[in-house]
Structure 1
Amino acid sequence: MKELFRKKIILFLQKAGRKGMVARQLEAKCHVKGKDLSHYREAMKELQDEGIVLERSRGLVLTEAVGAYPAKVARINKTFGFLSKLGDNTEVFVPGKFLMGAMPGDIVIARPIPSRADGEEGEVIKIIRKSEAQFTGTVFYDNGRYFVQPDSLVKDLIALEKADGLVVGDKVLVEISKRGKRHSEHTAKVVSSYGSSLKASACAKSILELHGITPEFPLEVSDEAKRIENKGIKADEIEHRLDLRDMLIFTIDGADTKDIDDAISLSKDGENYKLGVHIADVSYYVRPKSALDDEAFQRGTSVYYADRVVPMLPKELSNGICSLNPNEDRLAFSCLMDISAEGKLLSYEFKKTVIRSRVQGVYSEINQILAKTENDEIKAKYDGCYETIFLMQELADILTKNKIGRGAPQIETPESKLVISDEDICVDVCNKTRGKSELIIEEFMLMANQSAANFGKLNEVPFVYRIHEDPAEEKIQTLKENLDKMGLPVPRFTEVKPYHLAQIIEKQRNTDFFPVVNNMVLRSMAKAKYSTEPVGHFGLVLSDYAHFTSPIRRYPDLSIHRILSDMIEGIPSAMLTKTYGQFAALSAQHSTDAEITAMTCERECEDCYKAEYMTSHIGEEYDAVISSVTEYGFYVELENTVEGMVRIDDMPKGQYEYDGFISLTDALTGKHYRVGDKVRVICVKADVSGGKVDFTVKE
């Protein structure tokens, strides 16, 4: 009955058009009788909640009939916000004065307004569903009242309803308790307090909680992990596995890594290579529908920031029984590959194994061995591994050459290294360098990952693939226009291929423009995600790709371990489809969402720590490169990876005009500031709470 009323309501309101109908008239048209009233009201509420029907002072009307549309408030940033249209996810810019006090996550009705730019603009005309509306900020006290200054939400101070125990300057997580007609009229209550907003560690805790990331595990999850660790590995758990404990296998990771989930073996068979990638058999311990599995699914991934980690699995597993620690028997899931002298994958086999890592290798130490600069202590540690290490470099060089030959863009993604003191303060920021050993492991993981994806695809079973779709046409057009504005060569093409982007990057590889062009190409590409459809990976130029190698810290890897385990046990495809069809789809979508959340948290936490570091360097000069330009200033990046903004107000006096793309030009002097330009800047402000750094140009 409810569905019938939904159809009738929509039908009669469509006929009424922009004029709409008063409620009583619509009820009469729908022939609502006493016993049907509850069904009618339920249908009407659903339609209003979904933004299909809009209630106005003059009656009811279809939202689309008055040119309006339902949307979700995607984000708000001080003086403006963005909506995401329900249905097609089109993004709409909304000036702050037209937000009606809406908060991120709210479902609203909006309508178009004349746009001052190329994109679509709108205004909120009604809030139909209010979100929990949590945000972080700093406690202020003014004129006898406590307020919170949001970090990035709005410029207004928002009143706090209770003042018990509040300390001015503390970082807090709050939620709106009473809505006003504009943001400045809202009232909020404190959910959690973390200490001084001048400390990055306090700010990081608030960021994690805001995004629902919890360092602590529920008691039943911790208890289950402890039981597994205490049980250890029994003889009957080994007897049906391929025993590789006598094979030379070792791990290579960062010096501080505790969750070690991959190990390598390598030998020659004539001219061919026998590569083994041995991964912690996490799926053996984390069983479907267990408390551990439910928690791992919800988390989706481990979150790494500064010198800390919020793990996907409790430490008893992530650092204990699952971690491939040296000189300890460990259950593994091995991908055993035969690779030709030319680097072609000839065959692969997946086996449940038991291994015993000989050495806990460290990237920096292996790099010294490859450069032949190692000391006696390192020589002793890796005694017996030298031949394999140099063989690893030999094979990795071949695989890298093949990757470049496929046309894969060699994009660099700079990472920051944050040095945290014993007092929990960031005391240094530098560029994390990547040496040969990091590239070796990367190439070997790529081989195992594509083998797993190929195995899943060939057997036509439900699977979780790592996909990277072709870039959007409009983003490639923007890239071309920006390169042209910079006076840089642009390859001629109508349909972009990976090698086109590779050409753009390589032409600037050894120029001052490289960092900027590298970032421009990266931004022009689609974001990789998880999917049940094997559409391939644009950036790697691979038709088959998945994530198999990190089940301790990524749920999609754990997912396909579970599927692959049943495949090699000989479970029929029909049964696999029944068991994993829905599971794979849910895992792919949730893992993508969890990855986005984790990356957002990691970036925001890192920004707070960088700002904390810069508070000790106010007034100091730095060489910087302009990374992007806006109408209100430009962004710069220092050699140590710290990023910040130079506002027009902090630039030499002039009449600056923005070209809409890459430069600001002083109409009076002709002086321009353009993407890629080197500038000398002075740090003038560092906001730890907001994770922002401001610079001025040295004249």
Structure 2
Amino acid sequence: MAKRATATPATLPTREQILAFIAESKDKVGKREIAQAFGLKGADKIGLKRILKEIEADGAVSRSRGSLAKAGRLPPVVLCDIRSRDRHGDFVASPVEWAGEGKPPTIVLMPVKGGRRDRRPAPGIGDRALLRVEPDGEAEGRYTGRVIKVIGKNRAEIIGVYRAGAQGGRIEPVEKRGQGREILIPPGEEGEARDGDLVSVSLERETRFGLPRGRVRERLGSLGSEKAVSLIALHLHNIPHVFHENTLAEADAAKPATLRGREDWCERPLLTIDPPDAKDHDDAVMAEADPDPGNPGGFILTVAIADVAAYVRPGSSLDREALERGNSVYFPDRVVPMLPERISNDLCSLREGERRPAIAVRMIVTAEGEKRRHSFHRVMMRSRAKLAYAQAQAAIDGHPDATTEPLLDGALRPLWAAYAALKIARDRRGPLALDLPERKVLIGADGRVDRVVVPERLDAHRLIEEFMIQANVAAAETLEQARQPLIYRVHDEPALEKMRALGEVLASVGIKLPKEGALRPALFNRILATAAESEHGVFLNEVILRSQAQAVYAAENLGHFGLNLRRYAHFTSPIRRYADLIVHRALITACGLGKDGLPADISVPELDRIGEQISAAERRAMAAERETIDRLIANHLVDRVGATFAGQIAGVTRSGLFIKLDETGADGFVPVSTIGADYFRHEEARHALVGERTGETFRLGDRVEVRLVEAAPSAGALRFELLSEGRARSGAKRPGGKAAKGAAGRPFKPNPPGRPAGIRTTGNRHRGSRR
């Protein structure tokens, strides 16, 4: 840590003092360390938070895993993945998270000092490690690093495609960014692998020079099979998917909860509404008219959530592994659960007609949807029915079936009436209203993609989402009032530099971004409404999404910008999110609902560390899910090379254009060298490629026609050639089209500009889980 600052206690440091302190620090620097160094306490920390926000918004510093560093530089200690070796044989690593411009820095690892006292495990390719880094004075964007701790040993298994040879074989790793080099398989070490098979390999020996040697551990089969594609993602992202024996033993030994210490709610008409293929049901709802004459037209809403805390105790093997996983991971063909099935699909699943423990919130709302009060209860319940979204919606729309007919008057119509009231309050609140439907990949019996659909967005989805949001707000309010530490779901407002960039994009399509006034979701909603029926509608939805901050978990409340809420905590899905389990325990403690709440000695810094860990796990899961879909669709399209497709430009970089196909939602790449006969310049502010001679322009959101040139299932990569002409100088699309010149060579797929993690858009998976 840098030398302690000498500012007078309770006097806010200047911007220059803070930047100097960050630059001189050799250890992690966050708000807590800065406050301690300058002797700030109480209300002064609010002023410090404001200054730090301004400094970060101006781009003077960057943030990585809660640590601040000078803009464009790595913090002194950083979590990295060891990717490959350089030509000298030294390991090369890159940071797990990088918020700076351009490519992440390269870190060359210094050799680990030998000696009997050095018991640190030697790092290897594919490992994740905590490094202490320093800038390399000889090269910009290059660092040297020393291993503090190896976090995850990944050398035991590498996934790749086996290529048979005359004398043994070779493995082509599926992630080119990871292993980097091929792996030599000596004769007799190939097991049952055949040429072209997907296999898992153990590294037997690494040499400083030459190819590493390995042994085939398992033949995973065809790359198109569901098992193979899921395993690729699990491996590349270090996602735990096999439960430890102790964890399974704890789950198997768990006994069903009893009524002791609980209210008996088994006769209340609670029911679950879920996707038709849901296997675990962690929330149930009901609504009824409020009989209080002082609340005319009001409602009593009840949201009951599976009581996972009754089975997963702090410090247990179940708890430790749930924290390690952070959340369940959803692939098109399977789910990797956070908790064993004995807990998630049995004891905690709110099955129809079976007694289950729950923590419930009872909310009184007015006829306009404003909450008057709420209370939390620990209960025993019995779900009246298990309904699918479309099934419940059909009943309300006048087409009930044998299951929903008896529920119409007593359960479903009251729910919809209560939702109508909540919608009034929601519309008044004005959350961010992005419209970016997401596609769902349906897998056939053979494990291959059957088709890609856009699920219809129903009022049944919106009803459940709004009930869950209200329950989450009530949880945060109760814990704040009780002064009980918790983990919030926070979504900060867009950074200043992103707003400046957004203003430039809007100006290019004739929309002016106001320079004054408070930043609110309503500002973005007005822009979206203005452009909704124009050719810029989809384009602006994408651009506004990319201007938003990431939603994360934290012990410090920053509010939720996207939902336009002052406080928000995830409470409604403890089966599949560790953050919700923490909130459940906090409520048990705050409301005196039992002895299995949060440990008394847990601290805010510890909760903050947990928040960082599960936020990283969430981003990891999202990347794994996205890449799995890419691989499945690439395999689905491999027989359609040469076919033409309609699509839209979904990303623009100096290297080329990313195209999203209408038919499947698949993303592919058009290299800039294959576009027309002009030299195209990347204009970042306009999200466009512009021809220097002709002015021909290809911009984010433009409609195009492309031909599929190559599909690489192992990498999930598609390469296209562009058949459409761009916009003329005036901005109008030129009529007709032309065939772009072909592009030979290997598949090339840079990382497309992704959506901020944690921002839900229309059509996202069950329960708006990424809000």
CA gap 1:274/1:95 in 2 versus in 1, 3 angstroms = closer
Give the counterpart of 2:358 among 332, 335, 353. 332
Q: In the alignment, what sits opposite 1:546?
A: 569
Answer yes or no: is the 8 Å Cα contact 2:106–2:141 preserved in 1.
no
Q: State whether structure 2 residue 610 is matched by structure 1 residue 591.
A: no
Q: In the alignment, what sits opposite 2:326?
A: 300
Shift of 1:438: 0.4
Which segment is superposed worse, 349-358 or 132-141? 132-141
Q: Deviations over 1:335-378 (max 9, x none)?
A: 00001111111111000111111110110112223333x2x6x2
Q: How far apart, CA to CA, are the structure 2 residues paired with 1:179 and 1:73?
A: 23
CA gap 1:521/1:577 in 2 versus in 1, 3 angstroms = farther
Which segment is superposed worse, 457-466 or 515-524? 515-524
Give the counterpart of 1:459 among 482, 488, 494. 482
> SS where residue 504 of structure 1 aligns?
helix
CA gap 1:290/1:571 in 2 versus in 1, 3 angstroms = closer
CA gap 1:194/1:455 in 2 versus in 1, 3 angstroms = same
CA gap 1:333/1:103 in 2 versus in 1, 3 angstroms = closer
**Letter aligned with residue 317 of structure 1:** I
> SS where residue 432 of structure 1 aligns?
coil
CA gap 1:691/1:85 in 2 versus in 1, 3 angstroms = closer
Structure 2 stretches lacking a partner, 5+ long: 1-69, 87-91, 111-123, 291-295, 724-737, 739-771
> SS where residue 319 of structure 1 aligns?
helix
Give the counterpart of 1:171 among 198, 222, 228. 198
Q: In the alignment, what sits opposite 2:765?
A: none
TM-score, structure 2 normalization: 0.72
Q: In the alignment, what sits opposite 1:159?
A: 183
Q: Deviations over 1:272-310 (max 9, x none)?
A: 110000111111122222222222222121111103111
Q: In the alignment, what sits opposite 2:301?
A: 275
Q: In the alignment, what sits opposite 1:49?
A: none
Q: State whether structure 2 residue 385 is matched by structure 1 residue 359.
A: yes
CA gap 1:638/1:482 in 2 versus in 1, 3 angstroms = same
Q: In the alignment, what sits opposite 1:646?
A: 670
Q: How far apart, CA to CA, are the structure 2 residues paired with 1:408 and 1:593?
A: 25
Q: State whether structure 2 residue 239 is matched by structure 1 residue 213.
A: yes
Q: How far apart, CA to CA, are the structure 1 residues paired with 2:676 and 2:109?
A: 35
Q: How far apart, CA to CA, are the structure 2 residues paired with 1:129 and 1:167?
A: 40
> SS where residue 361 of structure 1 aligns?
strand
TM-score, structure 1 normalization: 0.79
Q: How far apart, CA to CA, are the structure 2 residues paired with 1:390 and 1:622?
A: 44
Which segment is superposed worse, 378-387 or 556-565? 378-387
Answer yes or no: is the 8 Å Cα contact 2:93–2:106 preserved in 1.
no
Q: Deviations over 1:312-337 (max 9, x none)?
A: 11112211121111111111111000
Shift of 1:676: 1.4
Shift of 1:668: 4.6
Shift of 1:149: 2.9
Answer yes or no: is the 8 Å Cα contact 2:475–2:569 preserved in 1.
yes
Give the counterpart of 2:372 among 338, 346, 366. 346
Q: State whether structure 2 residue 681 is matched by structure 1 residue 657.
A: yes
Shift of 1:178: 6.5
Answer yes or no: is the 8 Å Cα contact 2:159–2:235 preserved in 1.
no
Give the counterpart of 1:320 among 340, 346, 361. 346
Q: How far apart, CA to CA, are the structure 1 residues paired with 2:143 and 2:273?
A: 53
Shift of 1:607: 1.4
Q: In the alignment, what sits opposite 1:531?
A: 554
Q: Deviations over 1:138-164 (max 9, x none)?
A: 333568563333434349642326443
CA gap 1:387/1:516 in 2 versus in 1, 3 angstroms = farther
Answer yes or no: is the 8 Å Cα contact 1:491–1:504 preserved in 2.
no
Q: In the alignment, what sits opposite 1:266?
A: 287
Q: How far apart, CA to CA, are the structure 2 residues paired with 1:305 and 1:604?
A: 10
Answer yes or no: is the 8 Å Cα contact 1:333–1:351 preserved in 2.
yes
Q: In the alignment, what sits opposite 1:631?
A: 654
Structure 1 stretches lacking a partner, 5+ long: 1-63, 115-120
Answer yes or no: is the 8 Å Cα contact 1:273–1:339 preserved in 2.
yes
Shift of 1:634: 0.5
Q: Rg: which structure is higher?
A: 1
Q: How far apart, CA to CA, are the structure 2 residues paired with 1:427 and 1:123?
A: 46
Q: How far apart, CA to CA, are the structure 2 residues paired with 1:157 and 1:142?
A: 17
Q: In the alignment, what sits opposite 1:435?
A: 458
> Number of residue pairs matched?
617
Give the counterpart of 1:287 among 298, 313, 317. 313
Q: In the alignment, what sits opposite 1:51?
A: none
Answer yes or no: is the 8 Å Cα contact 1:431–1:641 preserved in 2.
no
Q: Deviations over 1:240-269 (max 9, x none)?
A: 322222211111000010110000010011
Which segment is superposed worse, 650-659 or 266-275? 650-659
**Letter aligned with residue 421 of structure 2:** I
Give the counterpart of 1:672 among 679, 682, 697. 697
Q: State whether structure 2 residue 213 is matched by structure 1 residue 203.
A: no
**Letter aligned with residue 239 of structure 2:** I
**Counterparts in 2 of 1:546-585, with a 5 A limit?**
546-569=569-592, 577-579=600-602, 581=604, 584-585=607-608
Answer yes or no: is the 8 Å Cα contact 2:81–2:95 preserved in 1.
no
Q: State whether structure 2 residue 147 is matched by structure 1 residue 123.
A: no
RMSD (Å), alpha carbons: 3.6
Give the counterpart of 1:238 among 259, 263, 266. 259
Answer yes or no: is the 8 Å Cα contact 1:151–1:690 preserved in 2.
yes
Shift of 1:73: 7.8
Q: In the alignment, what sits opposite 1:383?
A: 406
Q: State whether structure 2 residue 442 is matched by structure 1 residue 419.
A: yes
Q: In the alignment, what sits opposite 1:409?
A: 432
Give the counterpart of 2:627 among 590, 595, 604. 604
Percentage of matched positions with identical amino acids: 29
CA gap 1:222/1:666 in 2 versus in 1, 3 angstroms = same
Q: How far apart, CA to CA, are the structure 2 residues paired with 1:95 and 1:331?
A: 50
Shift of 1:576: 6.5
Q: State whether structure 2 residue 707 is matched by structure 1 residue 682.
A: yes
Which segment is superposed worse, 357-366 or 257-266? 357-366
